[in-house]
Every structure is written in C-alpha cells, then in structure tokens.
Amino acid sequence: METGRMVLAIALSFLVFIVWEFLFVDKEAMRQPPPQTTQTQKAKAPAGEKSAVSGSKKNAAVEETAAPKAAVLTEAQIAAQNSRPARMITVENPFYTCALSEKGAAIKSFVLKKYREKADPKSPLKQIISPTLERGTLLAGLESHHLKGLSEAVFNSGDAAEKIDVSGSARKLVFTWTAPDGITIEKSYTFQPDSYLIKMQVRIRNQSGREIKDRIYLSLLNTLPTKHNRYGFEGPSAYINGKLEQIPIKKIKEKNKLSGHLQWLAIESQYFMSSVIVPQAPEAGMQLILHDKSILENRYLSPEVTIAPAGMHTLDFDVFLGPKRLSLLKSIGGNLDKAVNFGMFDFIAKPCLWLMNFIYRFIPNYGVAIIFLTILTKVLLWPLGNKSYKSMSEMKKLQPLMAEIREKYKGDKKKINEEMMALYKTYKINPMGGCLPMIVQIPVFFALYRMLYQAIELRHAPFFLWINDLSAPDRLFRFNFSIPFMEPPYGIPVLTIIMGATMFLQQKMSPPMGDATQAKMMMLMPVVFTFIFINFSSGLVLYWLVNNILSIAQQYYVQKKYA
C-alpha cells in the first residue's frame, strides 16, 4: 500500500508536465445551432450595375467610392490594365490601418493600433499580415475556370482616394477587373468606423456569352509560423458541421480538404487571427494549400453556381482581422468565438477567464486579478482540502506504528501491506485521502495553463517591477549566455525559484511515504517542478505560487487543529 501511494503521488505530479501535450490536442468544441444565414444573391443584371452594401448587418450611412462600370475589354486594353502601376489605398479607423493594393484587390497590410509587437511600449504596432506575403490576402476567383491574367491582375478602384479615413460613417471601396473572355470580378470592401469587422462582397459578372458552372473561391493567405508553439494553436482552422477544426501545420497535407456546413475559416496565430465568416450553404468546402513551404492558403469554396450569359452571382462575407479576445468574437457572431479553444477543460477555463476579466474591471492589474482568482478557487475547494489535510495529519500520527511494522516484517512486503491495511482499518484512515487535493487541482491547473497562455488579455500585461508580461516567463536581469533547461531570454526566474521553495516546504509538512529512499525521491519533486516551471508564463507561475502559499496555510491550520 505504501508503494502504491508513492507511485500514485509521483504519477500525479508528473502528469502536470507530461500529459498536457496529449490533453491539449483535443480541439473538439460543443455543437451549436447555426446562425442566421447570409444571403447569397443570384440575378441577371446589366454589366454597368453598381454593387450594393450587403451583409448580416447593413449600415444605412455608407459612403461609396465610385467604381468604374464593367465592360468587355479588348486584349490590348487588358494588357494595358495589368501593366499599369497598382495603386495602394490606405484605410484607417480607430482600431486599425489597412493597406489594399489594386493588384489582386488584396489586403497587403493590416496594422492594429491597440497592440504592439513586443511588451516594450516603443515597439512597433502589431502587423497581422506578414510583410513577406507578396500577393496579400483575400484573393478571389473561379476554381476551375482559368481566368487569364488573374494572378497578375491590376484591378480598377475608380476615383478612390489613396487615403480613406473611416471615422464618422462606413466607407465602401470597390475594385473591378475583367478577364479576356469577358468575365468580370468585382470585389468590394465596406469599412466600419467602430469595428474590426469588414463587410466584403465578391460579384462575378458573366459577359462571356456562354453559361458558367463553377465554384467561387476566396482565399486567406499568410506565412507559416517560423517555430512550433507548444502553448497555443497556430495554423488553419474552420468551424464546420457544428465543431471546431484546427489543423496542425504538420497535418495539412493529409487533411487539406473539408466540406459540409461551413460557417467560417481562418488562419490563426497564438493571439490573433484573420478569418472570414462565409455565406451559409449545406455543402461548402475548405481547401488548404502550401506554397513554397512557407505560405499557407486557406481557401473557401462555394457550392457550384450557374451564371447565365449577361448574369451575375454575388457572395457576401464578413471579414475579421484582429485579436482573439473572447468577448469581441462573441459580439461578432457566427460562432467565431469557438476559435478561442482551451482544450479538454474549456468548460473550466472560460469561466475562469470571465472571472479574471471581471476582477480586472475593479483592479486594473491582471497579476492582482490572478491572485484573487486563485484565492476564490481555493475557497471553493477549501472543504475538500480540509478533509484531505485531516487525512494527512492522521497519517502523520501513525508514522511511529508504521515504522514498527516495517521493521518487524522487514523483507516481507506482502505482510507489511496486510498489517498496514489492518492499521488503516483500525484507525479508520483512508491512505489515499491526502492525494485528493492534487487530483482535483489537476483539471484546474490544465484549464488555467491553457487560459493563461492563450488569453490575449495577458499578452504584454504588466504585474509589477520586472514582470512586464504575464504571458512570458519572468526574468530578472538579462544574461548574454545560455542557461541549461531555460529558454531565452536568459535571466533569474525569481517567481519560479520562490514557487519551488514553497513546494519544498509543502513537501516537508506532508507525512513521508514509504521507506527513507522513497521519502528522498519525493523530496526531489520540488526540484523537478522548479526546472519545469522555468519556461512557464509568469502568470501561471504566479497562480501556482499563490496556490502553494494558501495550501501551506490551510495545511498548517488543519495539522494544528488535529494535533
């Protein structure tokens, strides 16, 4: 029995830093009913008809930049159209600065005004689109019908100004391009003055003189992450058939096509995402394409459409490029908030996130909010902790009798276990009772681990003194040499060392397990944990440190009470 207790304790301890990788790959989300569908328009219209503002939330006061009327162009006109220099148009609102190029009518740059690249307040503002992405993002076309010159197409933006300020009312920007066979692609963006959300419309006009049967695509593109992120998902994702699909980079080749009831698709980084909420249809598709092993394309494919001669087909999208803040994504709708996924213990992590943000409203310091969150969690588990520490205290009283049994039946493990069981039965003690706090705390730890690493609220959030980023490891000073087991930057992990000391004290207060050799092995656990926690975020270490201090206080109180 003693050996069993020791093995269980060691297994539970190592579970914290070994099993999490397996638990965190769980990307299932609870099924939700589909939102109201975005209308897909299909009608015949003359070539010169202007685009209308569309989407799930129409804005009555949209100022539209005049777009040229579509017309069938000659080969010479098309060549001239694609050879002229592409203008860059900059759109600015309080949340972002967006740069669009006439080449491809694509977004080439998207800078967030409320976020920076690093914790340093002098660091550049956060760029969502990689500068190395030559073609930009949000490219549109027909899947099977080869439109000659589309890859190098320079769209016409009419008389649009090169700088557009979106402050008082929404502004609409329209781009058009005509292929040699008379098929015109019209892409329009409607920018809101008070939102990250962009309304986008893709309209295909058929002036080719023949019927078109094809699938319309819209592509998100971005560069692949340069290194593997163990602490949060990065890569392509979608919400399809009522569940979240997050495809790891290494599995793209084997899982590059999905189809069904698709609500949105995205390319995610740890804290940000570029995404498109797509028109609702029973059988839409998503296709993943890797370009030169460094650029990822996440392509939406509409159901097959039929466009008669002189007809057109219109698709309306909602485009979101911004932070993965849960409350913000919920306000957008379309189940976009499912992108914030904390794995198996999501049902624990999200209430903890809400509670942490609630505390932050009154005390605007996320480090303090984590401390209060830890205290509230401890209060909820207090009765169970009392019961467990009482069991440990009673076990400590039996140590002399247990030592006598080991000495009396030395070498006979079977007899020792039998006598130990009789001893527990006589004194009505559960030998596993002391392990209950650890068992209950493991789901909470995993939930907080994911939440504290993925919550954008903690990105670059300062605590005090040298801890200026609760999402990163704490480092006092900076060393120009590497330290074993430590990931850069290199420095003194003050919080982690203090946390290790509290774990050591807690271990000393607990009754020893098994013989002297086993007891020494258990005393090594705080050392092992200290090295593991060196690279954990300071927010997570802060939670574990405060939890240890509260546990020590509770254990001391219970041991005094039942001494």
Stronger pLDDT, 104 or 521, i.e. the higher one: 104
Over residues 454-497, the pLDDT tens digits come to 899 999 999 988 999 999 899 998 888 888 888 888 889 999 99
Rounded Cα–Cα distance for residues 326 and 336 (Å): 9
What pLDDT was estimated at residue 37?
35
Q: Given a cut of 50, is residue 56 above it in pLDDT?
A: no
Note the residue count of the chain.
563
How much is the pLDDT for 74? Answer: 62
52 or 508: which leads in pLDDT: 508
Average pLDDT for 326-352: 93
Higher pLDDT, 437 or 220: 220
pLDDT of 76: 67
Q: Give the model's pLDDT for residue 40.
A: 35
- Asked if the model's pLDDT at residue 514 lies above 60, the reply is no
30 secondary structure, DSSP code: -
The stretch 538-556 carries a mean pLDDT of: 90
- Tell me the percentage of the chain whose pLDDT exceeds 70: 81
Q: What string of DSSP letters covers 415-467?
A: HHHHHHHHHHHHHT--TTGGGHHHHHHHHHHHHHHHHHHH-GGGTT---STT-
Higher-scoring residue by pLDDT: 70, 337: 337
Mean pLDDT of 438-450: 79
| Topology of the domain comprising 62-332 | Beta-galactosidase; Chain A, domain 5 (2.70.98)
- Report which of 212, 192, 219, 330 is spatially closest to residue 276, judged by C-alpha positions: 219
383 membership: H or E segment, kind and range: helix 382-397
pLDDT band at 7 (very low <50, low <70, confident <90, very high): very low
Predicted local distance difference test score (pLDDT) of residue 563: 65
Specify whether the CB–CB gap between 107 and 99 falls below 8 A. yes
pLDDT at 145 over 50: yes
Whether the predicted pLDDT of 436 surpasses 80: no
Higher pLDDT, 512 or 347: 347
Q: So what's the pLDDT on residue 229?
A: 64
pLDDT band of 20, cuts 50, 70, 90:
very low
* Residue range 116-121: mean pLDDT, rounded: 91
- Taking 60 as the threshold, does the pLDDT of residue 118 lie above it? yes
Residue 524's pLDDT band, with cuts at 50, 70 and 90, is confident
Long-range contacts of 503-512 (CB under 8 A, 24+ apart): 503/529, 503/530, 503/548, 505/552, 506/548, 506/551, 506/552, 506/555, 509/552, 509/555, 509/556, 509/559, 510/392, 510/434, 510/555, 511/392, 511/395, 511/396, 511/399, 511/434, 512/399
**Confidence at residue 289, expressed as pLDDT on a 0 to 100 scale:** 92
Q: Which of 11-15, 55-59, 302-306, 554-558 has the highest mean pLDDT?
A: 302-306
Q: State the SS3 of 75-140.
A: HHHHHHHHHCCCCEEEEECCCEEEEEECECCEEEEEEEEEEECCCCCCCCEEECCCCCCCCCECEE
Q: Enumerate the domain spans of the chain.
A: 62-332, 349-561
Average pLDDT over residues 115-124: 92
Q: Which of 17-26, 148-157, 193-202, 230-239 has the lowest mean pLDDT?
A: 17-26
CA torsion 11-14-16-20 (nearest 10°) is -100
When pLDDT is averaged across residues 66-78 and rounded to a whole number, the result is 56
Name the average pLDDT for the chain.
82
